[in-house]
Structure 1
């Protein structure tokens, strides 16, 4: 029971440290462990464990006579779901958003094509169920973001590719980052629903080529808004 309590405390401290990091509370160097222990009202053992977890995720770097340095967010282990969630918590910058779109263009269209070719009957039914939930909601409605993420996650899962499946957290984070921009664009929701319908129908028809094209069209909607919002050049299929 005590071990479970300690693990919960470690998770809480990790989350608090990350909040301070992304909010630039600490600057480039974290305070000493004893100072942080007092700040979070935990033992040095708990604080040491929390810091070691962040070190393992390449978020911190310990240097002699310097202390615990906060590493650039570009160095963070993005394949780790916790790190993904924390990274997307920070204010987005143009290059990060460009990288998000490039990642999605590499992974999601291929995952959609593989879902059309490999998905089980149960997988296809789950994708349709998620889409039916998604299309009944509008941006701003409670549950809209979750429904959108669920639909994309199920498509990636149905690809059958274990590496794609482990990257679903990055896709969910990318959707969270781009959804507010799309919500403000007139007509974007209607286009999004229509294109998602095309994607889901292509998977149901076992049409990998059309599924890939529909997934890419969805990403290009987000790419256009990112280009406009951040004045950064984003990749194109053309």
Structure 2
């Protein structure tokens, strides 16, 4: 029981440290452990465990006579779901958003094509079910973002590729980062529903090529808006 309490406390401290990091509260170097322990009102043992877990995720670096340095977000271990969620908390920058779109262009169309070929009957039904919920919600409605993320997650999982499946957290983070700007565009909801429906129908027809093209069309819409918002050149779509 006590062990579970300690783990929960460590997780809470980790979350607080990450919030401070992405909000640039600490600068480049974290305060000493005893100072942080007092700040979070925890023992040095708990603080040491929290810091060691961030070290393991390549978020921190300990250097003699320097202290605990905060590493560039580019170095963070993005395959870790916690790290993905933390990274997407930070204010997005043009290069990061370009990389997000590039990642989606590489993974999602291929995953959609494989879902069209490999998904079981129950997986295809689950994709359709997620879309039916998604299309009833508009940006700003409670549950809209969660419904969108669930739809994309189910498609990636239906690909049957274990590496793609583990990258679903990055895709969910990418969607959460782009939702605010897409929801403000007139006609965005109608376009989103239409492009997602094309994708779902291609998977239901077991048409891999059309599923890939449809998935790319979904991403293209987000890419165009990000390109305008951040004045950054998006990766080649073809």
TM-score norm. by structure 1 comes to 0.99
Q: Secondary structure at the match of 2:123?
A: helix
Contact 1:113 1:209 in 2 (8 A): yes
What is residue 97 of structure 2 aligned with on the other side? 97
What do the CA deviations read for 1:104-138 (whole angstroms, capped 9, x no partner)?
00000000000000000000000000000000000
Does 2:223 match 1:231?
no
- Shift of residue 76 of structure 1? 0.1
Where do 1:57-206 residues align within 5 Å? Answer: 57-206=57-206
Q: How does 1:25-64 map to 2 (within 5 A)?
A: 25-64=25-64
Give me the whole-angstrom Cα distance separating, in 2, the residues matched to 1:44 and 1:194: 54
Aligned residues, how many? 238
> What TM-score do you get using the length of structure 2 for normalisation?
0.99
C-alpha separation in 2, matches of 1:219 and 1:237: 9
Shift of residue 186, structure 1, vs aligned partner: 1.0
- SS in structure 2 at match of 1:89: coil
User: In the aligned structure 2, how far is the partner of 1:147 from the partner of 1:212?
Assistant: 21
Kindly indicate whether the alpha-carbon contact (under 8 Å) linking 1:220 and 1:236 is maintained by their aligned counterparts in 2: no
How much does 1:236 deviate?
Answer: 2.8
| Secondary structure at 2:62 match in 1 | strand
**Shift in Å, 1:174:** 0.2
Cα RMSD of the aligned pairs, angstroms, is 0.5
- Can you give the 5+ residue segments of structure 2 that lack an aligned partner in the other structure? none
Runs (5+) with no aligned partner, structure 1: none
Pairwise CA distance, 1:237: 1.9
3-state SS of the aligned residue for 1:78? coil
Give every structure 1 segment of 4 or more consecutive aligned residues whose post-TM-superposition deviation is greater than 4 Å. Answer: none
